[in-house]
Amino acid sequence: MQAIIEYLKQNKARFVEDLCDYVRFPSVSAQPQHRSDLHACAAWLVKHCRQIGLNARLCPTQGHPIVVAKTPAPRKRAGRVPHFVVYGHYDVQPPEPIDLWISPPFEPRVKGRSLFGRGASDNKGQNLAHLKAVQAYLKTGTPLPCDITFVIEGEEEVGSSSLARFLRAHRNELNCDAVVISDTGMPTPKHPALTYALRGIAAFELTLRGPAHDLHSGIFGGTVDNPAMALSQMLGKLRDNNGRVAIPGFYDDVQRLSAYERKQFKRLPFDERDYRKFLGVPKLFGERGHTPIEQRSARPTLEINGLTSGYQGEGNKTIVPAWARAKITTRLVPNQNPAKIIKSVRQHLKKLCPPTVRMELKTGHGAKPYIVSPTSLQAQAALRALKSAFGCEPVLIREGGSIPIVNDFKKILRAESLMLGLALPDDNAHSPNEKFNLDNFAKGQLMSACLWQELSRC
């Protein structure tokens, strides 16, 4: 390991430059005008992987391309060695609102100990850390104790719709002992973490249509229903006074937290006052009877993500709008099933909808929640790698975000995911001024380098 540690140290500045090159691509998967930028970013990755010494290829899909890069097979090797897949994504969330960025989102800049730019932590910095660890093995001639295949996709932020098919078509090539993912977080720089559960998701777009077009609210108001008002009333009924989702059956399949897990959560670093201040809210909100840590990682929620109707410009416009729309997502926990939840939500909204408007309900992303044993031999190996790279005791956490493809890794490749996140809570993922802590970038490389040793011994 000494040669690897030395190599990573020697090349620290160069690797930050590489990350800047990576972040410069505006690979926004949700926006059609960036299609060619996604392709260019994938092509850059392939080239970069080849320079590192990997066998890399660009795999076209119906959507954005997938990059596959493998460690070369050594000349002679005794017996079977384990095979691990490293999963990551090169696509990023839209950078808007741009005016809130202190430097342009695709002009990466180092300020203090962080690199600012859209995608710096979610997920370019995190997957590049793994590539740099493997680069260190290959460039120092240190034998790898395992085979590694990188699968870096361009559609994670829009639901990974091409990757599941790709996994099915390449299940032999991708057959592996585990999938390693750094696309989650850690509570503080001194608490490296292994994430053993993610929430699932079900997304909806609810539209209410009233009059054929916007109407003068003075002439017609009072005789026709107002879709914005009807929508607000419906939405208002979706939660109760205890902060619970008020949809019949919503909690039916929710697995209650064990006393043991709740006790473990209490040991995680968390200060409610700091948290409240950091979020800038006057008071925290949440399901009664649960702590914030439980609420955001192990309890289901329903959120309005967007709300649109009527006139949005300056001043007043006296109309009854023709329509109103809400974008909604529910986050799901074991053992909730997205299909079943979609059904209950649809049924309930139908019941709440007054006969004075027409209702349309579209569904979007759907992913099951994910939970994996935090005590397996592989999990223990991951914890050892975290400990030696970060120099402090790692923690086990559940997280509220979703990575839909982990369920397909399990179903199609029959492999569990080891999630070793390097993002910090204030890295501003999906927000303006996203950043990645460069100490975590360096420690992440070291963690990855250790991980292959530890995992291959299991």
Residues that bind ligand BES (CB under 6 A): 122-123, 156-157, 159, 183-185, 198, 201, 365, 399, 401-404
Rg (C-alpha) for the chain, rounded Å, is 24
- Residue whose CB is less far from ligand BES, 321 or 404: 404
Toward Mn ion, which CB reaches closer, 122 or 399? 122
Instruction: Evaluate whether 219 touches 420 at the Cβ level (below 8 Å).
Output: no
Picked from ligand BES, Mn ion, none, the partner binding residue 407 (CB below 5 to 8 A depending on kind) is none
Number of residues that bind Mn ion (CB under 5 A): 1
Query: Which of Mn ion, ligand BES, none does residue 404 bind to, with CB < 5 to 8 Å depending on kind?
Result: ligand BES
> Which CB atom, from 184 or from 440, has the smaller least distance to ligand BES?
184
What minimum distance in Å lies between the beta carbon of 429 and Mn ion?
6
Q: Which of Mn ion, ligand BES, none has residue 399 at its interface (CB below 5 to 8 Å by kind)?
A: ligand BES
Q: How far is C-alpha 444 from the chain's CA centre?
A: 18
Residue nearest to Mn ion (CB): 122
Contacts 24+ apart (CB under 8 A), 10-18: 11/132, 12/442, 15/128, 15/132, 15/441, 15/445, 16/110, 16/115, 16/438, 16/441, 18/48, 18/128, 18/132
**Tokens encoding 411:** 């179903």
Smallest gap from Cβ 421 to ligand BES, in A, equals 7
SS3 259: helix
- Of 200, 234, 233, nearest to 346 (Cα)? 234
Question: How many CA within 13 A on the CB side of residue 242?
Answer: 6
- Contact segment (CB under 5 A) with Mn ion among 116-124, 282-290, 341-349, 405-413 equals 116-124
Q: Which is nearer to ligand BES, 94 or 211 (CB)?
A: 94
Q: In the chain, count H helices and then E strands.
A: 13, 18
**Smallest distance from the beta carbon of 55 to Mn ion, in angstroms?**
28
Our CB check for ligand BES shows the closer of 201 and 319 to be 201
Q: What residue 91 binds from Mn ion, ligand BES, none (CB within 5 to 8 A, per partner kind)?
A: none
Taking the least distance from each CB to ligand BES, the nearer of 147 and 157 is 157
Give me the residue label for tokens 């490749």: 413
CA distance 425 to 389: 20
Q: How far is the CB of 89 from ligand BES (least distance, A)?
A: 7
Q: Which is nearer to ligand BES, 195 or 309 (CB)?
A: 195
Q: Which is nearer to Mn ion, 37 or 122 (CB)?
A: 122
**CA pair distance 297, 331, nearest whole angstrom:** 9
- Candidates 443, 432, 410, 418; CA nearest to 95 is 432
Interaction pattern, residues 119-148, with Mn ion; x per rule: CB under 5 A? ---x--------------------------
The residue among 185 and 227 lying less far from Mn ion, judged by its C-beta, is 185
The entry of Mn ion, ligand BES, none near residue 424 (CB within 5 to 8 angstroms by kind) is: none
**Whole-number minimum distance, CB 219 to ligand BES, in Å?**
43
Which residues are CB-contacts of 450 (< 8 A; sequence separation ≥ 6)?
1, 384, 385, 388, 389
CA 325, CA 307: separation in Å to the nearest integer? 6
Minimal distance, residue 309 CB to ligand BES, in Å = 24
Minimum gap (Å) between residue 368 Cβ and ligand BES: 12
Closest-approach residue to ligand BES (CB): 401
In this structure, which amino acid lies at residue 322?
A
Q: Smallest distance from the beta carbon of 418 to ligand BES, in angstroms?
A: 14
**Any long-range contacts for 370-373 (C-beta under 8 Å, 24+ apart)?**
370/197, 370/198, 370/200, 370/403, 370/406, 370/407, 370/410, 370/417, 371/196, 371/197, 371/198, 371/334, 371/398, 372/196, 372/197, 372/416, 372/417, 372/418, 373/196, 373/416
- Interaction partner, residue 183 (ligand BES, Mn ion, none; CB < 5-8 Å by kind): ligand BES
Min separation Cβ 324 and Mn ion, Å: 28
- Work out the burial of residue 35: count CB atoms within 10 Å of its CB; fewer than 13 is exposed, 13-18 middle, 19 or more buried: middle
Chain contacts with Mn ion (rule: CB under 5 A)? 122
